[in-house]
Amino acid sequence: MHAGDFLHPSFISKQDNGLAMIKTLNQLDGAANQFDPNMLVTWGNHEFDKGRLRHVDLMNDLLAQSEFTWLDSNITWAKNPQQTIQSPHMKRHVMLEYNEFKVGVFSFTTDIVHPEYIASFDNYEDTAKKYVPMLRDQGADFVIGLTHHWLQDDLAMMALPASYRPDIILGGHEHYVQTEQVNGNWVLKADADAASAIVAEVTFSQGKTHVMPQVIQLDKTFPEDQDMLALVVQLSQENDHKYCQSLGLENHCLTQVLGTTNQRLIAEETEIRRFETNLGNILADTVLTAFKSCEADIVLLNSGSIRLNQNIPANSNITVKHLEEMFPYPSDLRLIEFDSSLLEKILAHTISGWTANGHWLQIAGFAYIHNPEQQTVEHIHLKGHQELTDMRNQKIRAVVPHYLISADTDHDGYSMINEAMQVPCEVSGAEVKTLFTALLQSLPDGLNAHRDYRICNTTKDACLE
């Protein structure tokens, strides 16, 4: 099973719209060109990155090439002539049989994005109330919820009355491994990027079930499947060559070295989405320097826009491909101005749901103390050592990715800022990727990137000492 967010976003999906992932998932059973009834996926919010009506044919083509089942239990597709998402590979629910036992599976997908080809999403409670009793009435001995939404919603679903409660939830969305229990039932999520897998052994005995979950680390010690490895190498090389050819460059253009780093750059998601990292610092500092001519005070970069999800070793090259993978989305920047009191609300959101979420901000121009245990932000200092409390009725100029204020996005939850706050600046529209490329190329002795405790975390740092 796969809990979604596999089509997008990635460097390769920018070129092929997710086809390489379809081909890879098709191969998971070891038999290409053969439908696998035991392979189930659900839709994640990033499956809808191609969310316009003009993308319907593209999405239907991907579905047609899939050799597995897509579950859409809580999705109502818009009924537009010639523009409806549809496929015989898509089902509301499935019933799988293993000897004398029946396993029912339904899905749930978050509604945080609203593609034009979806009319509505049912909420998790209505979805569970509809499908859990239905599957049990059809003889299911065990019911699985395959979900893509926040952990707190998975836990809430598992806290529903027993008649609506699945026996297990296998989920996604947060990008890192989580294992929780509610009412004795497991909610299980593996790491993103196939860093781990969840294996849940289900035992049926005397009318009862017992679940034994295990997190399997898919690291270098895990044996590689040679057929799958060959496919991945082939798809990656084909994509890289296609990208270079589209620019009229030689096939290995992505290996071009832009610079070197003297320290290990921390970009892995569980770090850059929860803590200050040296890569986050250097990116934010580079942006602040570029916008100094417009009197920018601070920089706020949502870490979900920095998607490399691997650390770059010390004393190694930084290539074009590193930056293409780091910034698969446009990262154009805007200068906004707001009252200083708003910064506290912004930081309250950045620490909310502190579980490696993409709305966590990498920053420049100020510092604060984060206490995860108390869920607080304290001692906010701007402009050297000026306390935020000393800046009442003053304005702050902040550089942000356009995504955080665009009328066409969910702002990553930063509903307190918007496009109306923009102020003119000749640098607006610049891309983080472009600014960072220029920095690397200007440093013949290599990049030096460090933490300076601008975000002091009380669980790992010696704050206020």
Instruction: Report the C-alpha gap between 242 and 381 in whole angstroms.
Output: 47
Given this model, what pLDDT does residue 315 score?
96
Last residue of a domain, one of 217, 238, 266: 217
Look up the pTM and report it.
Answer: 0.82
Rounded distance, CA 277 to CA 11, Å?
22
- pLDDT at residue 392, as a whole number: 74
- End-to-end Cα, the chain, rounded Å: 48
Cα–Cα distance for residue pair 324/185, rounded to 1 Å: 41
* Shared domain check, 50 and 173: yes
In a domain, 410, yes or no: yes
Confidence of residue 410 (pLDDT cuts 50, 70, 90): confident
- Residue 228: inside a domain, yes or no? no
Would you tell me how many other CB atoms lie within 10 Å of the CB of residue 20?
A: 21
Question: Can you tell me whether residue 35 is helix, strand or coil?
Answer: coil
Q: What is the pLDDT of residue 377?
A: 95
Task: Quote the pLDDT of residue 60.
Answer: 96
Tell me the CATH number at 268: 3.90.780.10
**Same-domain status, 97 and 169:** yes
Q: What sign does the CA torsion over 160, 166, 170, 172 have?
A: negative
More confident residue, 207 or 29: 29
Q: How many domains does the chain contain in total?
A: 2
Lowest-confidence range among 164-168, 175-179, 337-341? 175-179
Per-residue model confidence as pLDDT tens digits over 83-109: 899 999 999 999 999 999 999 999 999
> Which uninterrupted H or E stretch holds 245?
helix 226-246
In this structure, is residue 226 part of a structural domain? Answer: no
Give the model confidence (pLDDT) of 434-462 as tens digits: 999 999 999 999 999 999 999 999 999 99
Same domain, residue pair 292 and 389: yes
Task: Say what the pLDDT of residue 383 is.
Answer: 73
The pLDDT value given to residue 378: 92
Check whether residue 212 and residue 350 sit in a common domain.
Answer: no
Q: Are residues 149 and 276 in the same domain?
A: no
For residue range 289-320, list pLDDT tens digits in order.
999 999 999 999 999 999 888 999 999 999 99
Whether 86 maps to a domain, the answer reads yes
Q: What is the mean pLDDT of residues 233-241?
A: 95
Whether 244 is in a domain gets the answer no
Same structural domain, 150 and 203: yes
pLDDT at 47 (0 to 100) = 96
Say which residue, 329 or 273, is predicted with more confidence: 273
Per-residue pLDDT, averaged over 406-434, amounts to 94
* Calpha distance 270→355 (Å, rounded): 8
Co-location of 448 and 380 in the same domain: yes
Residue 146, domain CATH? 3.60.21.10
- Report yes or no on 5 lying in a domain: no
Residues 127, 194: one domain? yes
Instruction: For residues 263 and 322, state if they share a domain.
Output: yes
Q: Which residues 6+ apart lie within 8 Å of 335 measured at CB?
A: 291, 294, 296, 397, 398, 399, 422, 423, 424, 425, 427, 428
Q: Could you tell me the residue range of the domain that residue 340 belongs to?
A: 256-457
